[in-house]
């Protein structure tokens, strides 16, 4: 059974913010926190004069400084460190395999612009089936956030298998004793754009049908987590259109991505991609079949 939270650490302000967020999450889950630094030996040809001993020293320093800060903040939290060798994305993805959650830092561009999702974070994200949370430097876990009444927002695709996404979102809302907002965007069938017989008056009926389908998807989880207050937002259009604005008042946004077994093809859907790059809150990406 997975019993810890893992966070990638590299000494940057982004990774320190991620580590602080991850420490609060580990406390909520009552599990240990593992700090991981991946040493990339390919630094040598890129930075002349930099040898393996320098990379090891950087790794030790980053881990020591971050673990020391977290132990001062949370004396009762079990914090361990691990330095790995190899390409960071591959090493982090392998390390995430036995974790409940992997947390990574991501540079923010401001409240409206959202994240810069770097190549390491994106490569790690699509290489693991473990839930991944991306945290911005601006997300202060010691401010209003964890444990407050601010809602968690989850994007729900009623046409996909979304049990893993909903399970994660409801569990997080239950841990934080906060409301959960389920957002679903729908579009008219393609026939409505060209078929002469398509009746636009059917749109309200379609909207009601979609709402009922969302109700059905949420119902089992509402029964399992009766203390979680659930609000719904159903509208015509892309889910990203509402998920991004909704994140302004959220403490966490949860989206899904389909697992791709092939090395070819897109590994991140358009909604998850938009939310990752433009949302103002930490983003949890949950892989599902």
d(CA 10, CA 63): 8
Domain limits for position 9: 1-139
pLDDT of amino acid 232 = 92
What DSSP element (H or E) covers 101? strand 101-108
29 and 159 in a single domain? The answer is no
User: Who wins on pLDDT, 117 or 244?
Assistant: 244
Q: Give the residue among 87, 116, 88, 92 at the shortest CA–CA distance from 13.
A: 116
Instruction: Render pLDDT for 160-185 as a digit per residue (tens, 0 to 9).
Output: 778 999 999 999 999 999 999 999 88
69 and 7 in a single domain? The answer is yes
Instruction: Render pLDDT for 29-56 as a digit per residue (tens, 0 to 9).
Output: 999 999 999 876 554 444 455 555 656 7
100 and 200 in a single domain? The answer is no
End-of-domain residue from the set 139, 167, 196: 139
**pTM confidence score:** 0.84
Tally of domains within the chain: 2
CB-based contacts of 264: which residues, under 8 Å, 6+ apart? none
Q: For residue 229, which phi and psi values (nearest 5 degrees)?
A: -80, 125
End-of-domain residue from the set 117, 139, 161: 139
SS3 77: coil
pLDDT of amino acid 136 = 80
End-of-domain residue from the set 124, 139, 154: 139
Instruction: Classify the C-alpha dihedral 286-159-208-219 as positive or negative.
Output: negative
Instruction: Render pLDDT for 79-94 as a digit per residue (tens, 0 to 9).
Output: 999 988 778 888 888 9
Q: How many CB atoms lie within 10 A of CB 238?
A: 15
189 and 289 in a single domain? The answer is yes
2 and 132 in a single domain? The answer is yes
d(CA 286, CA 163): 10
d(CA 249, CA 244): 10
1 and 130 in a single domain? The answer is yes
Looking from the CA of 171 toward its CB, the CA atoms found within 13 Å total 14
CB-based contacts of 275: which residues, under 8 Å, 6+ apart? 155, 240, 243, 244, 247, 253, 255, 283
Going from the C-alpha of 141 to that of each of 73, 145, 224, 230, the distances in angstroms are: 12, 6, 28, 24
């Amino acid at each position: 059974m997975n019993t810890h939270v893992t966070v990638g650490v590299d000494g940057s302000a982004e990774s320190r913010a991620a580590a602080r967020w991850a420490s609060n999450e580990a406390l909520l889950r009552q599990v240990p926190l593992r700090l991981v630094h991946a040493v990339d030996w390919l630094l040598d040809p890129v930075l002349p004069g930099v040898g393996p001993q320098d990379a090891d020293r950087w790794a030790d320093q980053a881990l020591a400084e971050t673990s020391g800060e977290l132990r001062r903040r949370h004396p009762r939290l079990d914090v361990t460190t691990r330095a790995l060798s190899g390409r960071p994305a591959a090493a982090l993805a392998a390390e995430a395999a036995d974790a409940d959650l992997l947390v990574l830092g991501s540079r923010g561009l401001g409240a409206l612009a959202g994240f810069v999702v770097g190549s390491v974070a994106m490569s790690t994200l699509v290489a693991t089936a473990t839930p991944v949370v991306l945290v911005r430097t601006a997300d202060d876990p010691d401010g209003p956030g964890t444990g407050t009444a601010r809602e968690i927002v989850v994007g729900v695709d009623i046409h996909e298998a979304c049990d893993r996404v909903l399970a994660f979102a409801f569990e997080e809302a239950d841990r934080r004793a906060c409301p959960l907002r389920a957002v679903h965007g729908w579009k008219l069938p393609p026939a409505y754009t060209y078929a002469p017989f398509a009746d636009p008056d059917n749109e309200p009926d379609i909207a009601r049908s979609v709402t009922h389908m969302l109700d059905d998807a949420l119902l089992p989880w509402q029964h399992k987590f009766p203390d979680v207050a659930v609000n719904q937002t159903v509208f015509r259009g892309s889910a990203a259109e509402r998920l991004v604005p909704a994140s302004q008042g959220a403490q966490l946004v949860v989206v899904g991505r389909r697992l791709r077994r092939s090395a070819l093809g897109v590994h991140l859907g358009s909604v998850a991609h938009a939310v990752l790059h433009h949302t103002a809150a930490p983003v949890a990406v949950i892989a599902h079949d």
